[in-house]
């Protein structure tokens, strides 16, 4: 969404990963383009030199800014007067820490895919570097970019459902029902291999999204979780189903269910939050609706750009008119726009629009890593209650 009034230059974007065959690389590029705050000018799109160059040509990166390695990219870009403002890291988890650290140290902001790193130690190291360098660092927890999710968060924060009692998030997929990794499928391969994903499978891939959403909308993090992780597909090395109970310091309770083995579901994210005076729910496959009920009144369907609650300002400007659904790419674009707003505001010496601060920070990335640790520890101990802060 273009900010009204002032006109700022487009930010120069580089990308690590995202070459031919990438799933998430094109999504990042569309997202960066959608609100026109970035131009993609450099990349190390693949560890394979030819694929890197082919990919760069396809996305209109000039040949002299297509690099064969991210190390070469850091070195060359840091030396240019028109160097990139920000790098997007869209590689598998094991290749987040290295480039993220190097680009930050070279004075370049970072947008990084989730989960933040391969393990918590790497994440803590990145947090240290970020604090030393002061770079802006965004983590792409996409579902927090949906307008109705932000609306839900704002409503909960404003007390629309009263003090929160229950947090229920599920993320239900089916694509790993069979051992797809055994067929050579690239996406399944790295996501089920500890060398590329870390110790968490489903819990890292989509469980962290669910955990972030639970916290994003409710405004709370649990004190303790009790997890049961299972690998159902024959030969699978990492969990493909995650059952978690949560306890909050306030007395609230929660559940997370994340699975990759539930036929009939594509990307069924559902968030339901209940408080002392009302309830709110959102379902990702119908993302333009938010369901809200005040206890004792009729359930309401709040539209994306439509009717909002008295006293709660709508936290965004719609890109398209009411009734014209926005989807996943728009939500992803929101994250890039948040990043652009934070960067531009800093560059222009002004405060960033508050809404842009909802982009997940590196600190939230670390929280996600600790969640993975805690879930794995709880499950490994047979399903005991573990504090996410002390999981390692």
Contact present, 54 and 78 (Cβ < 8 Å): no
Residues near 64 by Cβ (< 8 Å), separated by ≥ 6? none
**Closest Cα partner for 292 from 386, 210, 217, 192?**
217
Query: Would you say 82 or 131 has its CB closer to a second copy?
Result: 82
Q: Which stretches of 262-328 are assigned E, i.e. beta strand?
A: 268-275, 278-283, 289-294, 300-303
Query: Would you say 303 or 363 has its CB closer to a second copy?
Result: 303
Does the protein bind a second copy through residue 189 (CB under 8 A)?
no
Residues near 88 by Cβ (< 8 Å), separated by ≥ 6? 13, 14, 15, 16, 18, 28, 32, 110, 111, 112
Contact present, 160 and 280 (Cβ < 8 Å): yes
Does the protein bind a second copy through residue 293 (CB under 8 A)?
yes
The distance of closest approach from Cβ of residue 229 to a second copy in the complex, given in angstroms and rounded to an integer, is 9
Whole-number Å distance between alpha carbons of 180 and 147: 34
The distance of closest approach from Cβ of residue 57 to a second copy in the complex, given in angstroms and rounded to an integer, is 5
Does the protein bind a second copy through residue 354 (CB under 8 A)?
no
Contacting residue, 79, 298, 311, 354, with a second copy by CB under 8 A: 298
Contacting residue, 311, 321, 349, 354, with a second copy by CB under 8 A: 321
Does the protein bind a second copy through residue 79 (CB under 8 A)?
no
**What are the structure tokens assigned to 283, written together?**
């379902």
Per-residue contact flags (x/-) with a second copy for residues 151 to 180, judged by CB under 8 A = ----------x---xx-x----xxx-xx--
Whole-number Å distance between alpha carbons of 138 and 342: 10
Q: Prior bond to 353 cis, omega within 30?
A: no
Whole-number Å distance between alpha carbons of 234 and 342: 46
The distance of closest approach from Cβ of residue 328 to a second copy in the complex, given in angstroms and rounded to an integer, is 4
Does the protein bind a second copy through residue 301 (CB under 8 A)?
yes
| Helix residue spans in 158-205 (DSSP H) | 186-191, 194-197, 202
**Of 2-41, which residues contact a second copy (CB under 8 A)?**
2, 4, 7, 10, 23, 26-27, 29-30, 33-36
Contact present, 335 and 359 (Cβ < 8 Å): yes
The distance of closest approach from Cβ of residue 2 to a second copy in the complex, given in angstroms and rounded to an integer, is 6
Does the protein bind a second copy through residue 267 (CB under 8 A)?
yes
**What are the structure tokens assigned to 288, written together?**
């333009």
Does the protein bind a second copy through residue 350 (CB under 8 A)?
no
Per-residue contact flags (x/-) with a second copy for residues 105 to 134, judged by CB under 8 A = ------------------------------
Part of the chain binding a second copy (CB under 8 A), chosen from 44-52, 65-73, 84-92, 278-286: 278-286
Part of the chain binding a second copy (CB under 8 A), chosen from 41-49, 353-361, 364-372, 377-385: 377-385
Part of the chain binding a second copy (CB under 8 A), chosen from 103-111, 115-123, 213-221, 298-306: 298-306
**Of 49-68, which residues contact a second copy (CB under 8 A)?**
57-60
Does the protein bind a second copy through residue 214 (CB under 8 A)?
no
Q: Please list the helix, strand and coil fractions of the chain in percent, rounded to the nearest 5, in that order.
A: 40, 20, 40
Whole-number Å distance between alpha carbons of 40 and 10: 10
Number of amino acids touching a second copy (CB under 8 A): 92
Part of the chain binding a second copy (CB under 8 A), chosen from 87-95, 188-196, 287-295, 334-342: 287-295
Does the protein bind a second copy through residue 312 (CB under 8 A)?
no
**What are the structure tokens assigned to 46, written together?**
């693949």
Does the protein bind a second copy through residue 80 (CB under 8 A)?
no
Query: Would you say 69 or 277 has its CB closer to a second copy?
Result: 277
Does the protein bind a second copy through residue 230 (CB under 8 A)?
yes
Whole-number Å distance between alpha carbons of 4 and 32: 18
264 phi and psi angles, rounded to 5 deg: 105, -10
Residue 219: alpha-carbon gap to chain centroid: 16
Query: Would you say 79 or 321 has its CB closer to a second copy?
Result: 321
């Amino acid at each position: 969404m273009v900010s009204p009034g002032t006109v700022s230059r487009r930010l120069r974007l580089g990308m690590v990963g995202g070459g031919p065959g990438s799933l998430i690389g094109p999504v990042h590029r569309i997202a960066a383009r959608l609100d026109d705050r970035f131009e993609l000018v450099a990349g190390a799109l693949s560890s394979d030199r030819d694929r890197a160059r082919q990919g760069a040509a396809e996305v209109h990166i000039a040949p002299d800014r297509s690099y064969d390695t991210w190390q070469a990219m850091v070195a060359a870009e840091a030396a240019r007067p028109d160097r990139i403002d920000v790098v997007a890291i869209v590689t598998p988890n094991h290749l987040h820490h290295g480039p993220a650290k190097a680009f930050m140290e070279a004075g370049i902001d970072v947008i990084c895919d989730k989960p933040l790193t391969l393990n918590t130690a790497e994440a803590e190291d990145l947090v240290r570097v970020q604090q030393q360098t002061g770079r802006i660092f965004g983590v792409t927890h996409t579902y927090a970019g949906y307008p109705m999710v932000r609306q839900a968060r704002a409503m909960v924060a404003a007390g629309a459902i009263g003090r929160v009692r229950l947090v229920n998030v599920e993320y239900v997929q089916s694509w790993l029902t069979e051992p797809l990794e055994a067929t050579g499928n690239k996406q399944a391969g790295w996501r089920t291999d500890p060398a590329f994903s870390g110790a968490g499978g489903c819990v890292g891939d989509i469980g962290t999204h669910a955990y972030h959403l639970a916290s994003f909308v409710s405004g709370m993090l649990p004190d303790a979780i009790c997890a049961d992780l299972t690998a159902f597909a024959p030969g699978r090395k990492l969990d493909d189903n995650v059952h978690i109970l949560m306890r909050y310091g306030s007395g609230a309770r929660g559940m997370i269910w994340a699975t990759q083995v539930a036929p009939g579901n594509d990307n069924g994210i559902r968030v339901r939050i209940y408080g002392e005076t009302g309830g709110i729910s959102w379902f990702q496959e119908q993302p333009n609706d938010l369901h809200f009920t005040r206890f004792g009144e009729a359930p309401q369907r709040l539209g994306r750009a439509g009717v909002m609650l008295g006293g709660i300002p709508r936290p965004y400007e719609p890109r398209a008119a009411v009734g014209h659904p926005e989807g996943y790419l728009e939500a992803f674009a929101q994250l890039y726009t948040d990043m652009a707003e934070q960067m531009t505001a800093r560059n222009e010496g002004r405060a960033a629009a508050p809404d842009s601060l909802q982009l997940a920070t590196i600190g939230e990335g670390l929280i996600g890593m600790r969640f993975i640790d805690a879930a794995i520890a709880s499950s490994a101990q047979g399903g005991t209650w573990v504090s996410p802060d002390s999981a390692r």
